[in-house]
Amino acid sequence: MTNKGSSVGYLSCPTCDVEVPLAGDEKVGEHVYCPYCKTPLALRKTKEDDLYLEEDF
């Protein structure tokens, strides 16, 4: 399963691997908190335009 474009509903937390819900209008660089492990995460985008979450301590 691949995520295309910006219509992403969930992204995996890199720390605990839980699915973090997104509203869908988050911007790249925006910070979200994992609801499970409370890790601060930053929204990033790959060269292929795929969104992912990166730990941002």
Contact characters 13-52, Zn ion, x per CB under 5 A:
x-xx-----------------x-xx---------------
Q: Could you give the CA distance from residue 35 to residue 19 in angstroms, rounded to a whole number?
A: 9
* CB nearer to Zn ion: pick between 49 and 54: 54
Contacts with 33 (C-beta within 8 Å, 6 or more apart), sequence order: 39, 40, 41
Tell me how far, at minimum, the Cβ of 44 lies from Zn ion, in Å. Answer: 15
Residues of this chain that interact with Zn ion (CB under 5 A) are 13, 15-16, 34, 36-37
